[in-house]
Structure 1
Amino acid sequence: MRDWLYRWHYAATDGIRKIRQHKFWLAILLCLFISLLTLNLAQGERKPQDHWVWVDIIGEGATSICIVIWLLLVLSIRSSGLVTNWFAMGFIGIFASAFQGFLDKWLYLPSTAVWDNWVESFPMGLLALTMALWLWRKEQHQIDLNLTRRQAIYKNPFPLDSITNLSNTTHLSTQLKEAYEKGPINWKRHALILLDVVPFSYISYRHGGREAERFLMTISELITLTLRRHDVLCHLAEDRFAIVLKNVDRPHAQRLALELEALINQFRYRIEGMDDSIAVGASMTMVMAEQGSDLPETLLNKATAALSRQHDSVFSNTLS
């Protein structure tokens, strides 16, 4: 429960911080709200309460609130830019129409006032939102081209780790089980790599949980770039990752493991706001099924035991 509250507080704080970066659009929204409310109250008369249609009032009011929530959600996950601006214009335009419709449900405006019909009916917001969606589609297409290695991760039905966006222990067990069930020949061409990345504990202790999470995200991206498209990367807990190499023999698996180990050892992580970087290392073990009858649990236990035996061996250059 405490961990859930911490994550909720962290997500809410981070979302509010990002929304505050879009002060211009928040100011536009507030000015529009005040202007419409002032104009309607100044020129209109309140309808008798027996003329109110509560279903319409609640519906229009709820629509206006939902549109504001959609706008805030978009602003909380996007940086400033062309696509964000079109999204903001679209949602604010739609809000103006919905909010004017809400005010019309309980206020009479004189017949000489035609501006309210323009505000309520002119599809400026829908046109802007359509443009935003079109630009967003092009943006997503470019992102998809650069994230083909992660498509298999995002398409699996299992929940992803909230920090690294990688699959968890459940998905690892499923991958091993599926490989085992396809027969001993296929099973013996799978390798399991377990690795503990350092200095996760040092970063968490000296620089806090947020920096430690950023470190894990960086390492997960680094490992993902080195893997083949059909290999599987999972985040098990804290600094531990697991990799399932598919369709490999032992020499090939050992070569891939050595390449990954060398890449991690050459990487230096830079703490946000600091000039100096920190050397990174990893304790790593690679195992394969010696016999086609070896169970997935046996393979995982064997890898865990091997990693535990070398866990105290810390790279001499770490924290140098």
Structure 2
Amino acid sequence: MSSLLHLHRLKLAALLLAANLALLLHLAAGDLKPMAEWVWLDILGEGGSALLALAWLVLILKSRPAGRVSSLLALGLGCVFFSWWVDALDEFIRLPDSITWDSWLESAPMPIGLLLMTVGLYHWHHEQLAISAQLEKRERLFREHRLFDKLTPLGAAEYLRRQLQLSLQHAEQTQPLSLVAVDLDNFSALNQRFGHAEGDAVLQAISQQLLLNLRCQDLLCRLAGDRFVVLLPNTGETLARQLAGELQQAVAHLAHKTRQHGERLHLSATVAVVMAVDEDPQTLLQRLNLALARAKQPLALSA
């Protein structure tokens, strides 16, 4: 958890700087009130609200990786904290009646922060729905641990073959079926440089990133190592290639940083697509692996 908080240290530093600037601005423009004029109920209400907002912010940052949703929630809570913080400063510092900027500092950040939090919570809600939809697909088989990858945990190769067999039988009578392979580029070099523990963390992050970019009916499995396969029911080759491109972009945009040094890893992946014809699962997977090997040839030549 502390490693996740470390990734967001710049957000916390910026908020601390803004709070101190507001304090210095009030001290420069106004005078301290004597203790006899303090209204303790207002101090507890406004100061306590600011502390609660700060605590919520820390909890959010400790539990989420860097990304758009985390940034929206952090900015929103930061604005809410700042608004309450400035409001609490008025209980200790008296400003001249001619000054109006303090009202803007108190009032303007609050609606902006609530709007940012609402947008962030909306996207967080959709993230959880996407993950829950994927988890529901394999909930009934959780006790059969050999069918699931122990690291991610996604369906393993055997689970993929079983689901592929069922899908092929269904596809013969109704709709098309496609497969997408996603293979990380230069993953062995990443393991050698940062260690296998960091490589495992990358695979876990990649699996979550791919899940968030799939439809509810799609099935993601880890075939082996750094290779993932997505089963796309009721999907022709054209749409499958579009989805494959989106998954490739999702890997490239993953904001993963190493645990030890916080270094941003620039990841990429090679994708391949095949559409099922009248064949068994093993033959289809072999054809997918051949397509992936052909797709990786330019990368091997450039290396």
Question: Taking structure 2 as the reference length, what is the TM-score of the superposition?
Answer: 0.52
| Residue matched to 1:230 | 217
| Gap regions ≥5 residues in structure 2 | 1-58, 60-126
Deviation at 1:297, TM superposition (A): 2.0
Deviation at 1:176, TM superposition (A): 1.3
SS in 1 for 2:265: strand
| Residue matched to 2:172 | 184
2:251 to 264, 268, 291: 264
Deviation at 1:224, TM superposition (A): 0.3
CA contact (8 A) 1:153 1:166 kept: no
Cα distance in 1 for residues equivalent to 2:140 and 2:174: 21
Deviation string 1:36-79 (CA, Å, 9 cap, x unpaired) is xxxxxxxxxxxxxxxxxxxxxxxxxxxxxxxxxxxxxxxxxxxx
CA contact (8 A) 1:232 1:244 kept: yes
1:150 aligns with 2:118: no
The residue identity in structure 2 corresponding to 1:302 is R
SS in 1 for 2:174: helix
CA contact (8 A) 1:196 1:239 kept: yes
The residue identity in structure 1 corresponding to 2:135 is Q
Deviation at 1:284, TM superposition (A): 1.0
Cα distance in 1 for residues equivalent to 2:297 and 2:171: 36
2:227 to 221, 240, 263: 240
SS in 2 for 1:175: helix
Higher relative CO (Cα under 8 Å, sequence separation at least 6) belongs to 2
| Residue matched to 2:236 | 249
1:299 aligns with 2:293: no
CA contact (8 A) 1:281 1:315 kept: no
The residue identity in structure 1 corresponding to 2:139 is K
Cα distance in 2 for residues equivalent to 1:224 and 1:163: 15
Deviation string 1:81-100 (CA, Å, 9 cap, x unpaired) is 9xxxxxxxxxxxxxxxxxxx
Instruction: Count how many residue pairs are aligned between Structure 1 and Structure 2.
Output: 176
Cα distance in 2 for residues equivalent to 1:221 and 1:268: 12
Higher CA-based Rg? 1
Deviation at 1:286, TM superposition (A): 0.4
The residue identity in structure 2 corresponding to 1:170 is E
**Alpha-carbon spacing, 1:247–1:258, altered in 2? closer, same or farther (3 Å):** same
Deviation at 1:314, TM superposition (A): 3.1
RMSD between superposed Cα atoms in Å = 3.0
The residue identity in structure 2 corresponding to 1:303 is L
Deviation at 1:185, TM superposition (A): 4.1
Q: Please list, as runs of the form range in 1=range in 2, the aligned pairs for 1:165-244 lying within 5 A after superposition.
A: 165-186=153-174, 189-244=176-231
